[in-house]
Amino acid sequence: MTQKPLDGIKVLDFTNVLAGPYCTMMLANMGAEVFKVERPGTGDDSRAYGPHVNGESVYFLSVNRGKKSIVCNTKTNEGREVFKKMVTKVDVLVENIKPGAMERMGLGYETLKKINPGLVFTSISGFGQSGPYSQRPAYDMIVQAMGGIISITGEPGGAPVRVGISIGDIVPGMFAAYGTLAALYERRVTGIGQKVDIAMLDCQVAILENAVAKYSATGIVPGPMGLKHPLISPFEAFKTKDSYVIVACGNNNLFNHLCEVIGSPDLVNDPRFDNNAHRNANIHELSDLIQAKIYDKTTAEWMDILVNEGIPCGPINTIDKLFVDPQLKARNMLVEVEQGNIGKIKVAGNPVKLSTVSPEDELPKGSAPEIGEHTKDILVNLLGYTEEQAEKYIKECH
Amino acid sequence: MTQKPLDGIKVLDFTNVLAGPYCTMMLANMGAEVFKVERPGTGDDSRAYGPHVNGESVYFLSVNRGKKSIVCNTKTNEGREVFKKMVTKVDVLVENIKPGAMERMGLGYETLKKINPGLVFTSISGFGQSGPYSQRPAYDMIVQAMGGIISITGEPGGAPVRVGISIGDIVPGMFAAYGTLAALYERRVTGIGQKVDIAMLDCQVAILENAVAKYSATGIVPGPMGLKHPLISPFEAFKTKDSYVIVACGNNNLFNHLCEVIGSPDLVNDPRFDNNAHRNANIHELSDLIQAKIYDKTTAEWMDILVNEGIPCGPINTIDKLFVDPQLKARNMLVEVEQGNIGKIKVAGNPVKLSTVSPEDELPKGSAPEIGEHTKDILVNLLGYTEEQAEKYIKECH
């Protein structure tokens, strides 16, 4: 087992479903030990989300591998007592319950920092700990919709569509992991922790990129553009004999080379297309001219030609293709793991490749926990309970 | 000016367009000082991307604020000499050129770590530093297509659509910032830096979430689902009298409450809908039953009702709505900045809210640089050149 950057860091994970668990997964991937607090009975909501195999949620396991689960009902005095004891033993607390709820349970940052001044207290919520919407609940699709991304995704003139993944949760999970690590970094100088406040809606705005720039500069409200890029041309999907091929030329050299490769060298000096601004202004004519040349070969044939010529290109892969892709295999990005009742199953790998961590150590060891699987272990080994005290707790609180 | 976590950290930014600049922007937002290396003449490719206001690219400024620009042509001996001198003065190097190109210029990690063993060397590339596709060029849309997200975004049965933002660049930028920070954290213990290798394609797989879980568990290839969620119901857009409202019920309590609020309490105990698995299996019937109740009021009316009842809900905002949203205003998420020839313009704020950083310090000070604006400053103050030497360099190399 190689050394990992967060070896020795302990995380109290009071999160549910996706944004919070994705954050603590990223911390676990870097070596942190994660204690997942679950309510008695049903545990994390995502344990109920399909698909299930032999009763286990594959969704749940995909973001909770290698974490330890302790059952703890923070609505009871005993639960809060255990929770606070854990706070004194950890470096980080991540929670994603409704703003104000931690305070109402006597577990807010102002209280907890008194018992652990070094604590980094990371909150993820729909709209943040402040502002007029702070008390509203949110899920991925709510913030995708409110944050503008749905309004710029889809066919021009067509119905709005959701981004096909829960980007409204995953991106905040990523910013939360980054913010947590920044606060840990600062703590090594100051000795003091702090509160990190992540709002799902804020994160949607932070990734809007050219849509914000465009509206800000021009006052024009961007709309969906199907498969085209709003600012760069050509940068889109062309139909081939059997499917599509994506071609993306981000500068003049690439565009000029593409023109030669498709047998249209005359386009290079055409004043309609001689720089990116002109190509954007005449995008439909340009697309039609390129399309006419692409249509007569298959995607595989075009991939051979374009890859060989160094033109950025790619097929539109369905999910099954990823599982057999040689590059993703070489990069260890679909990792076969063993999970209790399920057996072997593949999950997404860790995209942060560190030179000091070998491929087999990129993901944490161990499967996703059963509810309360580590209650006794945590009570005894982290909190110093006796076996009898731990068993009494389990009998009364599980 | 408040203390920030990365105060004192220096970053040599040898990146272009978006993934790399987004990474170094995140580091700058946390307090790092970023030296952007640009080639003579045209500088960063994204300076050519519209929209332009008074000759300045708003796209470029939106991810390069507060960075310092030095012109340095690494294809010349003199440029490489300056580059290497900078390496000895910084903590982090971020680059996003083609794998192998740094090595061919004599600027690979194995060379640079000899002159600065503490260096964290972060590479972002389309497909990574290893594997059969390593030498292929990539842009956002290429990896969106190859990484599967396009195949699950769009209308069921409709044409594939691109996610409306450059998620293929921004997510790797985020993972790169996280990986860089993890390596910096480890360095504080070991004193030694390392190489962080981020592939845009890997990052697409890392955020696929339920699509990987679903295919892995069932062998069923997921397709686009428009505005519906693949695993949770109801979790979709309903048509109102004037537009849409998103309603998302992630557990039974929320679903039961929704049924009462829309005047359909009979659905609560309906065996077709009494848990999430049953609701998923009967999603079309359920959607129709809810839709029939939603259609008779406007989005604003439904928002009032649903917000008041604590049901997760939201409108589908276009980009202009974000600029007047009271929550985003309260959260400082669209920040007015001053930029040379442009004047005042709004950019996306920093979504990582730290309790130790005041709102006015969340973004770095200063505008986005002109090409080579800080060449002299960097040569003199970072590298110890005399005024004359610096002026000679500028005359010969700019």
Cβ-Cβ contacts under 8 Å, A126 against chain B: 312
Chain length of chain A = 398
Q: Which of B211, B316, B325 sits opposite A165 (nearest CB)?
A: B211
In degrees rounded to 5, what are phi and psi of residue B75? -85, -5
pLDDT tens-digit readout, B70-88:
999 999 999 999 999 999 9
User: Taking CB atoms and an 8 Å limit, are A275 and B48 in contact across chains?
Assistant: yes
Measured between alpha carbons, how far is B139 from A258 in angstroms, rounded to an integer?
A: 15
| Partners of B348 in beta bridges | B334
| Partners of A237 in beta bridges | A246
Q: Are B394 and B376 in contact (CB under 8 A)?
A: yes
Q: Return the DSSP state at B323.
A: T
A309: left (phi over 0), alpha (psi -120 to 50) or beta: alpha
Give the A window 290-309 contacts with B, CB below 8 Å.
307
Closest A-chain CA to B192: A356
User: Taking CB atoms and an 8 Å limit, are B202 and A333 in contact across chains?
Assistant: yes
Q: Are B197 and B45 in contact (CB under 8 A)?
A: no
User: Taking CB atoms and an 8 Å limit, are B53 and A244 in contact across chains?
Assistant: no
User: Taking CB atoms and an 8 Å limit, are B222 and A319 in contact across chains?
Assistant: yes
Q: Both A386 and A241 in a single domain?
A: no
So what's the pLDDT on residue B177?
98
Helices (H), chain A: 19-29, 58-64, 77-87, 101-104, 109-115, 140-146, 167-190, 200-206, 210-218, 252-261, 276-281, 283-294, 299-309, 319-322, 326-330, 375-377, 387-397
pLDDT tens-digit readout, A352-387:
999 999 999 999 998 999 999 999 999 999 999 999
What tokens were used for B339? 């930029």
Q: Both B18 and B141 in a single domain?
A: yes
pLDDT tens-digit readout, A236-268:
999 999 999 999 998 899 999 999 999 999 999
A348 touches chain B (CB under 8 A): yes
User: Taking CB atoms and an 8 Å limit, are B277 and A50 in contact across chains?
Assistant: yes
* Residue A83 belongs to domain with CATH number: 3.40.50.10540
A268 touches chain B (CB under 8 A): no
Q: Which residues in A312-343 are b (16+ Cβ under 10 Å) and which e?
A: bbbbbbbbebbeebebbebbbbbbebebeebe
User: Taking CB atoms and an 8 Å limit, are B355 and A311 in contact across chains?
Assistant: no
User: Taking CB atoms and an 8 Å limit, are B130 and A207 in contact across chains?
Assistant: no
Q: Both A388 and A260 in a single domain?
A: no
- Chain A: give the shortest CA distance to residue B153, in Å: 4
* Residue A265 belongs to domain with CATH number: 3.30.1540.10
User: Running along chain B, 398 residues long, what does each successive block of 10 average in pLDDT?
Assistant: 91 97 98 97 90 91 96 95 98 97 97 98 98 94 96 88 94 98 94 97 95 90 84 90 93 94 95 93 94 96 96 96 96 93 93 96 94 97 97 91
Q: Both A253 and A135 in a single domain?
A: no
Q: Return the DSSP state at B378.
A: I
Cβ-Cβ contacts under 8 Å, B228 against chain A: 162
What tokens were used for B302? 């439904």
pLDDT at A209 over 90: no
Q: Are A91 and A183 in contact (CB under 8 A)?
A: no
Closest-CA residue to A63 (of A138, A140, A157, A174): A174
Q: Which of A139, A188, A333 sits opposite B235 (nearest CB)?
A: A139
User: Taking CB atoms and an 8 Å limit, are A201 and B58 in contact across chains?
Assistant: no
Average predicted confidence (pLDDT) for chain A: 94
Cβ-Cβ contacts under 8 Å, B342 against chain A: 217
Within 10 angstroms of residue B52's Cβ, the number of other Cβ atoms is 18
User: Taking CB atoms and an 8 Å limit, are B277 and A51 in contact across chains?
Assistant: no
Q: Both A137 and A264 in a single domain?
A: no
Measured between alpha carbons, how far is A25 from A379 in angstroms, rounded to an integer?
A: 22
Judge if the upstream peptide bond of residue A51 is cis by omega within 30 degrees of 0. Answer: yes
Angle of helix A19-29 versus helix A167-190 axis, rounded to 10: 50
pLDDT tens-digit readout, A266-293:
999 999 999 988 999 999 999 999 999 9
User: Taking CB atoms and an 8 Å limit, are B334 and A202 in contact across chains?
Assistant: no
pLDDT at A231 over 80: no
Q: Which of A45, A59, A213 sits opposite B213 (nearest CB)?
A: A59
Measured between alpha carbons, how far is B79 from B379 in angstroms, rounded to an integer?
A: 12
First to last CA, chain B: 34
Residue A136 neighbours by CB under 8 Å, 6+ apart: A126, A127, B307, B310, B312
Q: Is residue A273 part of a domain?
A: yes
At position B107, the amino acid (one-letter code) is L
Report angle CA B236, B238, B242 to the nearest 5 degrees. Answer: 145
In degrees rounded to 5, what are phi and psi of residue A385? -65, 155
Closest-CA residue to B173 (of B341, B23, B350, B339): B23
- Where in the sequence is the domain holding B129, given as residue range(s)? 10-207+356-397
Closest A-chain CA to B328: A202
Measured between alpha carbons, how far is B141 from A249 in angstroms, rounded to an integer?
A: 10
Give the B window 61-100 contacts with A, CB below 8 Å.
61-63
Q: What is the DSSP code string of A41-87?
A: TT-SGGGGSS-EETTEEHHHHHHHTT-EEEE--TTSHHHHHHHHHHH
Domain boundary among A266, A286, A315: A315
pLDDT at A160 over 90: no
Q: Both A190 and A46 in a single domain?
A: yes
Q: Which of A197, A317, A322 sits opposite B353 (nearest CB)?
A: A197
So what's the pLDDT on residue B199?
98
B39 touches chain A (CB under 8 A): no
Closest-CA residue to B67 (of B19, B26, B96, B95): B26
Measured between alpha carbons, how far is B323 from A147 in angstroms, rounded to an integer?
A: 11
Q: Both B35 and B93 in a single domain?
A: yes
What ipTM was estimated for this complex?
0.96
Closest-CA residue to B23 (of B39, B41, B36): B36
So what's the pLDDT on residue B205?
97
> What is the arithmetic mean of pLDDT over A141-163?
92
Query: Which of A207, A235, A302 is best to mutate for the B interface (most B CBs within 10 A)?
Result: A207
In degrees rounded to 5, what are phi and psi of residue A51? -75, 145
Q: Both B195 and B267 in a single domain?
A: no
**Beta strand A68-71 pairing with A33-38:** parallel
pLDDT tens-digit readout, A89-121:
999 999 999 999 999 999 999 999 999 999 999
Closest B-chain CA to A46: B250
Q: Is residue A200 part of a domain?
A: yes
- Chain B: give the shortest CA distance to residue A109, in Å: 11
Q: Is residue B216 part of a domain?
A: no
Q: Both B16 and B158 in a single domain?
A: yes
Cβ-Cβ contacts under 8 Å, A311 against chain B: 137
So what's the pLDDT on residue A232?
83
Closest B-chain CA to A163: B153
Q: Which residues in A144-157 are b (16+ Cβ under 10 Å) and which e?
A: bbbbbbbbbbbbee
So what's the pLDDT on residue A1?
63
Q: Is residue B70 part of a domain?
A: yes
Measured between alpha carbons, how far is A65 from B218 in angstroms, rounded to an integer?
A: 19
In degrees rounded to 5, what are phi and psi of residue A68? -105, 135
Q: Is residue A228 part of a domain?
A: no
Measured between alpha carbons, how far is B296 from B304 in angstroms, rounded to an integer?
A: 14
Q: Both A297 and A153 in a single domain?
A: no
The total domain count for chain A is 2
Q: Both A174 and A240 in a single domain?
A: no
B157 touches chain A (CB under 8 A): no
Q: Which of B215, B327, B352 sits opposite A127 (nearest CB)?
A: B327
Q: Which of A26, A52, A153 sits opposite B164 (nearest CB)?
A: A153
Instruction: Give the range among A62-71, A123-132, A278-287, B223-232 with minimum mean pLDDT.
Output: B223-232
Q: Which of B149, B188, B194 sits opposite A165 (nearest CB)?
A: B149
Q: Is A229 a catalytic residue?
A: yes
Q: Both B23 and B170 in a single domain?
A: yes
In degrees rounded to 5, what are phi and psi of residue A337? -125, 160
Q: Is residue A326 part of a domain?
A: no
Cβ-Cβ contacts under 8 Å, A277 against chain B: 48, 50, 52
pTM of the model: 0.96
Q: Is residue B176 part of a domain?
A: yes
Closest-CA residue to A118 (of A183, A181, A73): A183
Cβ-Cβ contacts under 8 Å, B345 against chain A: 216-217
Q: Is residue B15 part of a domain?
A: yes
Cα-Cα-Cα-Cα dihedral sign, residues B188, B191, B193, B194? negative
Beta-strand ranges (E) seen in B110-268 are 120-125, 195-199, 235-239, 244-248
User: Taking CB atoms and an 8 Å limit, are B333 and A228 in contact across chains?
Assistant: no
Residue B200 neighbours by CB under 8 Å, 6+ apart: B19, B124, B125, B126, B127, B138, B140, B143, B168, B169, B172
Cα-Cα-Cα-Cα dihedral sign, residues A55, A61, A67, A70? negative
Domain boundary among B287, B315, B343: B315
Domain boundary among A262, A290, A315: A315
Q: Return the DSSP state at B12.
A: E
